[in-house]
Amino acid sequence: MIDTLAHRCLDGDPRAVARLISLLEDGDKDAFGTLAALVERMGQAQVIGITGPPGSGKSTLTDKLIGEFRARGKRVGVIAVDPSSPFSGGAILGDRLRMQGHATDPGVFIRSLASRGRLGGLSKATAFAVRALEAAGYDIVIIETVGVGQSEVDIVKVADTVVLVSVPGLGDDIQVIKAGIMEIGDIFVVNKSDRDGADRVVREIRAMLETQAMLQRGKSVDAGPDTLAARNSELLHHGQTDLRPETLPMREVYNLPPVMKTIAETGEGVPELVGEILAGFERARGSGELKTRRHDAIKSQLKDLVGWQVMDYFIDQERDGRLERLAKSVQNRKIDIYSAARELFAALIQGEKR
């Protein structure tokens, strides 16, 4: 039954795609097995991540992006992630609400997923749901993350292009130089740009990006005279880390990510945004950056999968009561928690060898 599911997926049957995504989300091992049948189509779709704080207009923007990609003849798959309740495990998935205008278009497939306890802004199987949509022939896959705060950055592990949506009125300029979410944008969008303060947000983001570029240039080969690289010997003299250019990751030419203004409600700025998304993708493909990025993405997905398998195996093994016993020992101060963990891990490895 599972094999037919894969083939129906390749034929673009929406029911099959929908069911496969559910099974992947539920962690069904057979369903993960079907991914083998989808391998040949892997990498054909351009995967676009839309991320930003709650209420910044991600869903409305996604709705308009679907329209624009459709006008350009692309088939569009959408994965929209909303949070699960930490208490009941239930969820209200409301992103689709804004996109229902496209529901009956056969060139569009919209799927809502609940985060189910994952904290990185995506659900556990988002990366694999992308494979199902891609196999069914969607040229563009848009992933809308949950409304993010400052550190939900899992989207970089999945998307070819990350669009970071911001809005006026969220805070002062120190917000944009913090680590985390502001570091992952390939394209920055200031949405609701008819509101007061939009130009200021654009300026602040640009300033942040320029500083970042300067710092990175300071470390590159074609750095000017007054840079960290040039001062390397001096720094070494003061006992600091070796900063010779060849020891540092090199960047070819540093292009500043674009900062664009949109009004998603009316669609203003959306055609330009789509133009930039497509052009940036082509540039990344030409320069080899896309290849590197996808390689890194695959590596981190592999780590995730191995991690889950180890955890599943651990939970299987755990039936012998060792976890329970060690937890008690830790509580009774018979053993420290780190040693207990080491003992559990050792038992896990032993179990595998048996």
Partner 1 sequence: MERKIRVIVAKPGLDGHDRGAKVIARALRDAGMEVIYTGLRQTPEQIVQAAIQEDADVVALSILSGAHNHLFPRVVELLREKDAEDILVFGGGVIPDEDIPFLKSKGIAEIFGPGTPTSATVDFIKTHLKRA
List interacting residues with partner 1 (CB under 8 A).
Answer: 14-15, 17-19, 21-22, 26-27, 84-85, 87-94, 96-97, 100, 103-104, 109-112, 114, 116
d(CA 328, CA 100): 52
In the complex, least distance from residue 158 CB atom to partner 1, rounded to whole angstroms: 20
d(CA 144, CA 159): 10
Residue closer to partner 1 (CB basis): 88 or 332: 88
- Tell which residue, 93, 97, 74, has the closest CA to residue 84: 93
In the complex, least distance from residue 277 CB atom to partner 1, rounded to whole angstroms: 23
In the complex, least distance from residue 113 CB atom to partner 1, rounded to whole angstroms: 9
d(CA 89, CA 233): 57
In the complex, least distance from residue 99 CB atom to partner 1, rounded to whole angstroms: 10
Residue closer to partner 1 (CB basis): 106 or 225: 106
In the complex, least distance from residue 224 CB atom to partner 1, rounded to whole angstroms: 54
Contact at 8 Å (CB) between 152 and 184? no
Residue closer to partner 1 (CB basis): 37 or 91: 91
In the complex, least distance from residue 79 CB atom to partner 1, rounded to whole angstroms: 11
Residue closer to partner 1 (CB basis): 121 or 258: 121
Residue closer to partner 1 (CB basis): 86 or 286: 86
121 to each of 51, 76, 144, 150, 302, how far by Cα in Å? 8, 21, 9, 11, 19
In 23-82, beta strands by DSSP E: 46-51, 76-82
168 to each of 17, 55, 152, 176, how far by Cα in Å? 38, 11, 20, 12
d(CA 95, CA 216): 37
Residue closer to partner 1 (CB basis): 1 or 179: 1
Q: Could you give the 3-state DSSP secondary structure of residue 110?
A: strand
In the complex, least distance from residue 84 CB atom to partner 1, rounded to whole angstroms: 8
d(CA 230, CA 221): 10
Residue closer to partner 1 (CB basis): 12 or 271: 12
Token digits for 155? 């989207």
Token digits for 182? 């502001």
